[in-house]
Amino acid sequence: MPALAPTAALRTRRSNRYLLGGLALLALLVAPAAASAEQLTIEIADPTRELVNPALVRRLIQLEVSEVEVPPDPEAAADGPEGTLYVRVADLEDGTLSVEMWARGQRVGARRVKAKRSRRLRARHIALAAAELANQLRRRRVRARRLAQERPVEEPKVEPAPGALRAEFLLEAGALGAFVGGGDFWLVGSELRFPLRFRRGPEFAITTSWLGGSTESIGSMRWLEAGVAAGYDWGAGTRTRLAAGAQASVAMVHLGAADAVDREPGQSDTWSARAVVWGSFGPRLSENLELTVRPELGATLRQVSAQRGDRSARLGGLWLGIGLNVGFSDVPLVRHEPASDANKRAR
């Protein structure tokens, strides 16, 4: 076969190159686009259609964006409608084209493409800009999904039924002072109270006190007591405590300077008891902390006789006291069921 002339061979190579380019362009225009995670809507503004090939721009954007796996929006409902990506191409009239992307009504971002290029090159750059915005959206949703997975899921609490018995345990610590017997002696010291308070208002408490004081005729004394109290809180469930009740206590009394106690020479220890009514009021500083003031009015149930030298006294009578306490509440003693168990029982 005779060899082709150089000019004919060159012409043949050019024809083949144009043919291959045309076939590639045709395949680009008719090949189906890869499936995308979300629907894609492309808008090309009317003035921009003169600067680009709309069909080529749409096809290239579909191909580039379909290569980006955009996950579903983690904030959207799982059974909600499928999302839509919206791409808009517009002429900014400053020698550049704007490529914007929107997803579920929120703007993802925008990129600029130079308009001083061939139509084919413009279309390619527009598609790459759209793919870059799709990648930006992908990174944003992946980060949001990771944060949502790391966020601890709090299981909703099931409140007890209206008739359920609900109580909480508290620890109250503070100071207590009292005048006894119209001024026969005074006491001041610290106290601890362990109330069990019910949701509807009733409360019961165990109390302990470590008090010291002095009498006019006998000298110093110590008063160590333990007791029980009962009351009712009208401010239960509110930010203010308003309660009242009664208390009975038994005390060990020590009169170190006495020569005789209860007519027994050399004795310095004895016992006594008291009963009082009290009121309590104060603010609840937080869910687990409260401050209360508690006035007391009552009387000793057993008087103590003591002698020192030629002086003697009968200690007891009217009790007028006041306490200042800080209360720390614990977790409610009603057990909350998990929401899943409650739902199973309801079914």
Q: Which pLDDT tens digit goes with each residue over 217-236?
A: 888 899 999 999 999 988 76
List the chain domain ranges. 27-74+83-150, 167-332
DSSP reduced 3-state for 124: helix
**Statement: residue 302 has pLDDT above 50:** yes
| Distance (Å) of CA 112 to CA 37, 68, 115 | 25, 20, 9
Q: Do 213 and 219 meet the contact criterion of CB atoms below 8 Å apart?
A: no
- Could you read off the pLDDT of 102-114 as tens digits, one per residue? 888 888 888 888 8
**Statement: residue 25 has pLDDT above 80:** no
**Statement: residue 35 has pLDDT above 50:** no
159 against 34, higher pLDDT: 159
With a pLDDT cut of 90, the percent of the chain lying above it is 23
Burial class (CB within 10 angstroms; exposed 0-12, middle 13-18, buried 19+) of 262: middle
Mean pLDDT, the chain, as a whole number? 79
Q: What is the mean pLDDT of residues 19-38?
A: 47
38 against 279, higher pLDDT: 279
245 against 263, higher pLDDT: 245
- Could you read off the pLDDT of 150-194 as tens digits, one per residue? 776 666 655 555 555 577 888 899 999 999 987 778 999 999 999
**Statement: residue 44 has pLDDT above 90:** no
Task: Using pLDDT thresholds of 50, 70 and 90, give the confidence band for residue 22.
Answer: low
Q: What is the mean pLDDT of residues 116-133?
A: 85
DSSP reduced 3-state for 146: helix
**Statement: residue 276 has pLDDT above 90:** yes
pLDDT value of residue 178:
93
Fold observed for domain 167-332? Porin (2.40.160)
Residue 248: phi and psi, rounded to 5, are -125, 135
Say if 27-74+83-150 and 167-332 have the same CATH topology.
no
pLDDT value of residue 263:
85
**Statement: residue 296 has pLDDT above 60:** yes
Give 27-74+83-150's CATH code, choosing from 2.40.50, 3.30.70, 3.40.50, 2.60.120: 3.40.50
Query: Structure pTM?
Result: 0.50
**Whole-angstrom Cα distance, residue 266 to residue 256?**
10
pLDDT value of residue 19:
54
Encode 55-89: b = buried (16+ Cβ within 10 Å), e = exposed: ebbbbbbbebbbebebeebeeeeeeeeeeebbbbb
Both tokens of residue 267? Answer: 């004795």
pLDDT value of residue 249:
95
* Edge-to-edge strand list for the sheet holding 106-114: 39-44, 84-91, 96-103, 106-114
